[in-house]
Amino acid sequence: MFKRLICLCLLLILVSSLGTAGTGAVFASARLQQTSLGNPNPYSPNGKHRIEFITQPQQSLQISQGQSAAIYVKIRASHGAVVSLQWFQIIGGQQQPINGATSNPFVLPSDLAVGNHTFLCVASAQDGTTASSQTTVVSVLPADSADAQAIGSPYEYLRPSLPGMEVSNWGFLRSGYVVADMEGGGFSLLIPRLDDYFIIEKYSSDLQLIETRMLHTELNSIAAYHQGSDGYNYILTYPLGTTEHINDKTLEDMRLTRYDSDWQRICSLSITSHAISYITSYGLGPWKAAMADDGKQLILYGGGWTDTSHQANHVISLDLDSLSIQDLRFSGSTHVSHSFAHFAFFTEDSLALVSQGDGYPRAAELQIAERNPAAGQARRLQRIELLRFTGRTGDNYTGAMTGGAAASSNNYLVVGHSVDQSRYSESFSRNVFISVVPKTNPQQARLTWLTELPQSHSSETPYLIPLLNDRFMVIWEEYTTHKPAFPMLYQSNEISIELEDLERWPVVYDDTKYLIIDGNGNPQGTPVSINGIRLAKGIEPIYLDGNLIWFSVKYHEQSEMIYELYCLPLDGGELITVDSRIWQQAQASAETITLTINSLHVTRNGEVLPSPPLPPQLIGARTMLPFRYLVQTILGGEVEYEDETRRITASVNGTEIIMTVDQMQIYVNGVAFEYGQAPVVINGSTLVPLRAFEHVVTEIKWNEDTQTVTIVP
């Protein structure tokens, strides 16, 4: 089961990273997904498990030597099968297993020689059942060849305009945010791009575009956004696709960056796995992560890998003012295994956390914790089961998804959609539900179904949107499908994440509807139809000045992006659609600093700068940079040096760095890091490891071939 989950995780990590500019990544165009054949399964004779490769890897792939590449597949298996994978290279007609190549996708070795190489994948179940994929021939061309072809990015599979682009068992892939201006009178769109940048489009209240900005995504992928009560914008980023954290807990695992209301960078906090007692929390990214603050504490809530190599929910508490990690203890366990959909918010006296798991518990759940415990005391905790899922513990398929959560004056409210759990292996139709949990007596929680759709129809994209005067909107899409009626050939219902599945089982969009409810979850009238206007998966609408505002990315690739902006007046006025906007691929105008090993030549966007007192050097296989020169001359910070203690203190953009010459630990805002080489003094100048600058610049890169360091301040 765990390996099945790994497959799903790697799919989302890989798909989100495809097409990233500058990586040189080339990927086969097949899809990854292990789904489950129904139980009972009429296609598995004699009680044996059945495994099939339903999407084969591409038969040929052409890359340049040294270029990153991966092969991945989609498989399905009978219910209860625990599937393991092994990748082989065919040499001299014989299958040679590749050591450690048991993941999906399979990242090709980076040292492949020029020539043709043949690979295949073998999947096996615990009862000995096996299946083999077709072979993939990888043609490696010389590094300077112009004939290598980059396979087109399959980002189109995740275009929010397609039906059902949520990962149906867990939650939405975050694909953008609508943000109300803190000063009022307008809003902004936050749109992640495929090239390590995100775009801010600022609009006036009358839907006039005021400004467009392109900002660097600091750790290349956005896990969550939060508009703080302190007037700042917060973005949580993580290093997409990296797995080094599993073996090295000192690596930066997440970064929380603070921006002012004009999106000027103020400061950041680097979070390591060591600091939060997790192997890695990169799982925060692909699934819906959440942040919330109450003016004093900032909560980060998402998923990550535990020290036992198990995926589960994870909550971090920070002091909002200093962005320092705080002690966070609860009176009971908060563990939700295989938790992917996360929501967090504060009420007058509580911290509310909503998550959905397929293991322990196998349910959608609300956790209510004490907001301000007494000094030194654990937070009192209550756990409320909202909807229990049928099926075996750990089965990836739940037939449900949690879509939104908020608090009214008297209740906690949670919205989602689900199949009929009493007919778990037969039901396809997902109906929208609301769970109402009284604040004064949470154990009296009740669940109400807001739709009664027939088996040929289902719902998508349920959102819960706070309005005014203790009222809320529940909004969703409805569609018709021609999915076969026999018992769950594809039990996981992942029909919408595969274009080939959409072709096999046509999905027809019917309608978008919304329903106004009061603070007790009671409908205020009947559902209202806004037929023909699609919601966006992973882009939650907001209520602003009597209007519902959202956008949908219609097309997105390396060269361009097209989106449509929608404004729906809730007083009965006509829906307003703003014409799509298109961005051509453009090099960001960010300032770039370049340094070279053993050279005093330094440039800013090609312009020669004053030379440092000491050139960058390689010491113990580590790239070492002149600290005071970069901090003061290049970044405009301050540096103080104490002769007696040999202690160095620097302040850059609100970030404090403290280190001692010849000591390994470097403290960034009080958090200790080690980078494999201590700071050293040579001829009166201090050199520090390159990675120490990751905390105070937007981006820093090392090019082994040219022996250069590139810094984006």
Pairing of strands 457-466, 446-449: unpaired
Give the pLDDT confidence of 284-302 residue by residue, as tens digits.
434 568 999 999 999 999 8
Tell me what pLDDT residue 33 has. Answer: 32
Give the pLDDT confidence of 646-666 residue by residue, as tens digits.
999 999 877 889 999 999 888
Amino acid at 414: V
DSSP assigned state of 504: H
Residue 194 pLDDT level (bands cut at 50, 70, 90): low
Of the chain, the end-to-end C-alpha distance in Å amounts to 44
Region 490-510: what's the mean pLDDT? 40
Give the pLDDT confidence of 123-146 residue by residue, as tens digits.
888 888 888 888 888 888 886 655
How far from 130 is each of 48, 70, 133, 630, CA to CA, in Å? 11, 22, 10, 57
DSSP 143-189: TT-S---PPPPGGGGG-TTSTT-SBTTTBPPP--EEEE-TTSSEEEE
Closest to 191 (Cα-Cα) out of 179, 180, 183: 179
pLDDT over threshold 60, residue 489: no
Rounded CA-CA distance 604/357 in Å is 49
3-state secondary structure of 274: helix
pLDDT over threshold 80, residue 643: yes
pLDDT over threshold 60, residue 46: no
Give the per-residue SS3 of 530-595: CCCCCCECCECCEEECCEEEEEEEEEECCCEEEEEEEEEECCCCCCEEEEEEEEECCCCCCCCEEE
Rounded CA-CA distance 7/287 in Å is 14
Average pLDDT over the chain, rounded to whole? Answer: 77
pLDDT over threshold 90, residue 674: no
255 vs 56, higher pLDDT: 255
Torsion angles phi and psi, residue 624, rounded to 5: -115, 135
Percent of the chain's residues with pLDDT above 70 = 74
Structure token pair of residue 330: 């609860």
Give the pLDDT confidence of 153-191 residue by residue, as tens digits.
222 222 222 223 333 444 555 778 999 998 778 999 998
Give the pLDDT confidence of 413-430 residue by residue, as tens digits.
999 999 888 876 667 788
Pairing of strands 507-518, 471-481: antiparallel
Structure token pair of residue 442: 């949470």
Amino acid at 107: V
Amino acid at 103: S
pLDDT over threshold 60, residue 557: no
Rounded CA-CA distance 13/20 in Å is 12
DSSP assigned state of 13: H
Rounded CA-CA distance 585/533 in Å is 28
Tell me what pLDDT residue 142 has. Answer: 82
Give the pLDDT confidence of 435-449 residue by residue, as tens digits.
999 999 999 999 999
Tell me what pLDDT residue 144 has. Answer: 61
Element containing residue 9 per DSSP (H, E): helix 2-17
Tell me what pLDDT residue 23 has. Answer: 26
Which domains are seen in the chain, by residue range? 2-156 (2.60.40.10), 593-712 (3.30.457.10)
Structure token pair of residue 614: 């000491």
Closest to 651 (Cα-Cα) out of 662, 643, 642, 640: 640
Tell me what pLDDT residue 213 has. Answer: 79
Give the pLDDT confidence of 54-103 residue by residue, as tens digits.
667 767 777 777 766 777 676 766 655 677 889 999 998 899 999 888 87
Amino acid at 163: P
Element containing residue 11 per DSSP (H, E): helix 2-17
pLDDT over threshold 70, residue 15: no
Percent of the chain's residues with pLDDT above 90 = 31
pLDDT over threshold 70, residue 43: no
Whether pTM > 0.75 for this model: the answer is no
Amino acid at 122: V
Tell me what pLDDT residue 501 has. Answer: 35
Burial class (CB in 10 A: 0-12, 13-18, 19+), 173: buried
